[in-house]
Amino acid sequence: MGGKDFGVLVFSYPPTYLLIVLPLAMLPFVASWVLFETATLAGYLAVLGRIAPIPLGYWLAITFPGVIINFMCGQNGFLTTALIGGGLLLLNRWPLLAGFLLGLMAYKPHLAILIPLALIVARQWRALIATAVSAILFAATSLGVFGPSTWRAFFGNLAITQKIVLDQGGINFPTLQSIFGAVRMWGGSVDVAYMSQAVVAIYAACAVVWVWQSTRPFALKAATLAVGCLMVSPYLLQYDLVLLALPTAWLAMEGFEKGFLPYEKVVLVLSWILPRISEPVTMTSKIPIAPIVIIILMTAILRRSSHCEAVDYQPQPFHLAHLETPA
């Protein structure tokens, strides 16, 4: 880093993530940064291209504000989006491969809590078993490579991370994109913040159960799960909002194909621009924009789910001639 002193930074990831970090650490800093971001960006674009296989879809995917934010931070939002989105797209046709990808989300488990719930509710047993096996093998490999001390350090660090980062505001509360951060930013107590987060998490879990146990369109199931992943954890940062590209694309394509409900386009615009307007340095007032928009997006998806015909279908490419060329 050119001799710059950044102090002590908390590494709160499980040792599974070290398997990804280690090869990159063998390269010069800039080279590893560009390689990681470029490779994971390719996965992100492949998934978004499959959800919205039209030229306009690629334009919106690459200009999504979360892209530049994640790239400049050198963070893993592209990887998270590629794993969750890729797993969901493969779920019905290749459940074992889908489970393998979803199991790799063990590197960031606080964003993967609802994935097993969705698979259980949908009775996707093969994918569920593959997810568990993938996560176990991922963890076992890291244990074999780095030894048990890294796992002991990880579990020992959890309480410290919670106390310093969340309870004491080691990360400025406006930086947190969760309802927990919003309550703390407003001056609420730690207990009230955790209770508020629990309410939002329960709302997300109930939404996933309601949609995934039905025969509603797959796009709405996938969108519900993707949004729900952002609603469960109190530890949610700006680069994690790259995951919003998935539900935004799925809901938009549903609207283009079947017609938009009132105010649905407004919600989509807010969701698409959210990573930019939620940036702490651009906030002129103490308004927790991110959790509000995320909850509104989930509500919009549930409203469409309640209006749509209960007809299940496999995700197929959309044929939208009037969108083949961007305006």
Amino acid at 23: P
Q: Where are the domains of the chain?
A: 15-319
Tell me, what's the pLDDT at 123? Answer: 95
Q: How far is CA 134 from the centre of its chain?
A: 19
User: Which ranges of the chain have pLDDT less than 70?
Assistant: 1-2, 169, 279-286, 309-327
Spatial distance between the Cα atoms of 235 and 100, rounded to a whole number of angstroms: 25
Helix, strand or coil, per DSSP, at residue 181: helix
Tell me, what's the pLDDT at 175? Answer: 82
Tell me, what's the pLDDT at 259? Answer: 87
How far CA 104 is from CA of 123, 158, 222, in Å, comes to 20, 20, 18
Tell me, what's the pLDDT at 288? Answer: 80
Tell me, what's the pLDDT at 308? Answer: 73
Confirm if 194 and 180 have CB atoms less than 8 A apart: yes
| Count of positions (residues) in the chain | 327
Spatial distance between the Cα atoms of 258 and 273, rounded to a whole number of angstroms: 23
Amino acid at 292: I
For the segment 195-236, what is each residue's pLDDT rounded down to a tens digit?
Answer: 999 999 999 999 999 999 988 899 999 999 999 999 999 989
Mean per-residue pLDDT of the chain: 88
Tell me, what's the pLDDT at 2? Answer: 66
Concatenated DSSP letters of 98-160: HHHHHHGGGGSGGG-THHHHHHHHTT-HHHHHHHHHHHHHHHHHHHHHH-HHHHHHHHHHHHH
Tell me, what's the pLDDT at 176? Answer: 86
